[in-house]
Amino acid sequence: MQFDDLINTITPDAYQNLKRAVELGKWPDGARLTKEQREQCMQAVIAYDAKYLSEDERIGQIDKGPKEEGDVCETHDHEADVSPVKILPPENLK
């Protein structure tokens, strides 16, 4: 079975179970997901989202609202937030 065929067979209930398993890191019976299971479940959830949900309903969607003409995206320049750190020797940490 191909990956796309598998996604087509996922029911809404199965999707919710997969999504919950990824969120909690365990199956409904309490068994922990392996790293591989978690990655595969996450891929299935993302693929299901892309196929059946609108863009604003998908996992990971961040709505930053509309931009007016001339507006720019926020920057990630954190240089203004940086200040020097002074490391004290252990005897001064009392």
pLDDT (average), residues 22-51: 92
Task: Return the pLDDT at 79.
Answer: 59
More confident of the two residues 25 and 77? 25
Q: Give this prediction's pTM.
A: 0.59
**Quick one: which of 36, 38, 46 has its CA closest to 15?**
46
Q: What is the mean pLDDT of the chain?
A: 80
Percentage of residues of the chain with pLDDT beyond 90: 36
Reported as a single tens digit per residue, the pLDDT across 49-83 is 888 877 777 666 556 677 777 776 666 565 556 66
CA distances from 13 to 20, 67, 71 (A): 11, 37, 42
- Asked whether the beta carbons of 18 and 41 are under 8 A apart, the reply is yes
